[in-house]
Amino acid sequence: MHTKRLTPYEAGLDKQLRVYKFKKDTLIKAGMYVKDDAKIQNLIDYWRTVAQMASNYVFNEQSVVINKVGGFQEWQRRQWERKKDKERDERDVLWESISEELQATSDENKSAMIDQLAELGFVVSNDGELLHDLNNEMEETPTFSSDFTMRDLYDILNLDYDLVYE
């Protein structure tokens, strides 16, 4: 079966026809969305209510846990200390790998590497020994809130509070 080649004029008409068909389909879909707007709003309200009820349950459970450890301030302090301990452990592991690499480095490259380590907060002697880690200095403990709120819970869970309680 042979297909007839379209003339440039026919090809242009064919292209226009496809564009108008696409626009028509888009308008039909838009019309369906407009008709479904009330239904969609009802679904949003329903799921917001469900999310709020679930949030209240989780909030109450977390409040009990927080009160058992001595209140929200104490819980925040412990979380902060855990985070600092984890960061310190990660820096120790980093230093161990850097130290091995530093020992294997030639003397001419060692001084450049020591300068780079100083930028990272490691004060290193010329023979490759860690003299001081500036990042391990104790920073002041931040001031923690004493009241545990639903917004705090959402921050802890990395959820969007405004999405549920808009």
pLDDT in tens, 110-153: 777 777 777 777 776 766 666 666 666 666 778 898 999 999 99
The two three-digit tokens of residue 105, written as one number? 């480095």
pLDDT at 138: 62
HEC secondary structure over 85-149: HHHHHHHHHHHHHHHHHHHHCCHHHHHHHHHHHHHCCEEECCCCCEEEEHHHCCCCCCCCCCCCC
Domain ranges (residues) in the chain: 8-35, 72-147
d(CA 45, CA 54): 14
Low-confidence winner among 4-8, 63-67, 85-89, 104-108 (lowest mean pLDDT): 104-108
Give the H/E segment covering residue 77.
helix 72-104
pLDDT, tens digit, for every residue of 51-89? 999 999 999 999 999 999 999 999 999 999 999 889 888
pLDDT at position 38 over 70: yes
d(CA 25, CA 161): 37
Q: How far is CA 95 from CA 55, 74, 114, 118, 124, in A?
A: 42, 31, 12, 12, 11
